[in-house]
Amino acid sequence: MNEPERPTEDAPVDDAAPKRRMTKTRWIALLTALGIVLAAVLTTAAVTSGRGSHDRNEDSPLLETPPTTLPATTTTRKPHKKPKPVLTKPEAPPADPYANVPIIQIGSLEIPKIGELTPIYEGITLTVIDHGPGHWPGSALPGQIGNTVFPGHRVTHSHPFLNLDLLAPGDQIVFHMTGYDYVYKVTGTQIVYPTDLYIIDPTPTATVTLVACHPKHSAAQRIVVKGKLVASIKR
């Protein structure tokens, strides 16, 4: 039998073998790298999952999903503000104090301390006041917020304000109007001059001002009695 020929040192080298060996090496390296990457991904996911659970347990605001129940919203109402009172504005004194105007009774005025009960009218001309105390047009009506002003005679005609000087703080001034009685209490008395019209200025609360000549039998000054509303009584 003939023996197979042995390659000599000068025989050509088969390049396919080393190429196949390098290809296997690359596959092994690639698989190893993929394994490392996969392991890293799995480790990161596990750590992230653990952190997420921890954060939720700690009430962290960084939640992966929004809460299923939204907190109830509340509406805060602003405190109710009381409306500002509309201040009355008394009219200027009449140009003609003797003007012929209608005589209209609007109620009656009672001052228990001096035993006075008199009808009251709308207007401050002398033709009105000759019948009884007159309501100054534009000032507050009895019971309303503001300064209700009533001038009256002191020694002439029915002289309803003859004894205003006897009133003291705490004494009552009562207006009997349609359906209501309005009770004021005297807060003080002052003497002013006829030109001191500040006494009729509007006030932010319900007040009363009674005005008459002073001293008695003279018109040199004015006596002014002030009071505040303390009761409104429905009849």
- pLDDT per position as a tens digit, 115-156: 999 999 999 999 999 999 999 999 999 999 999 999 999 999
Of 109, 209, 223, give the one whose Cα is nearest residue 164.
223
pLDDT at 169 (0 to 100): 98
* Tens digit of each residue's pLDDT (9 = 90 or more) over 77-107: 555 555 555 567 899 999 999 999 999 999 9
Give me the pLDDT at residue 61, please. Answer: 37
pLDDT digits (tens, 9 = 90+) for 54-77: 444 434 333 344 445 545 555 555
- 224, 190 Cβ separation under 8 angstroms: yes
**167 pLDDT more than 50:** yes
Strands 116-122 and 134-135: parallel
- pTM of whole model > 0.85? no
SS3 169: coil
